[in-house]
Amino acid sequence: MAKLSSSEIRDALGKLAGWDGDESGIKKSYKFKDFVQSMGFVNQVALLAEKADHHPDIEISYNKVNLTLVTHSEGGVTNNDTEMAAKINSLG
């Protein structure tokens, strides 16, 4: 899987509501009512990630969840990351 160029990442981010980033990774932050809702969301992301065998970095702080996607083995952002971001966005 090849790394995406800066312009390819910008193009992909234009189609991914709420995501931002660059060659080092793409990121999105979520805010929920409380910790339970945050964890429910994280569990949904975990199921998607396991199915795709592509796992985001996840930071949880009570009602806030920060996700970062990067293909570590390639040293940057690939189609795997943008595809996972789209799947995460489909969670609602």
Instruction: Please work out, in degrees rounded to the nearest 5, the angle formed at the alpha carbon of residue 56 by the alpha carbons of 37 and 92.
Output: 40
CATH number of the domain at 6-89, please?
A: 3.30.1360.20
| Residue 1 scores a pLDDT above 90 | no
Q: What does the pLDDT read at residue 92? A: 67
pLDDT in tens, 17-66: 999 999 999 999 999 999 999 999 999 999 999 999 999 999 999 999 99
**The model's pTM:** 0.94
Domain ranges of the chain: 6-89
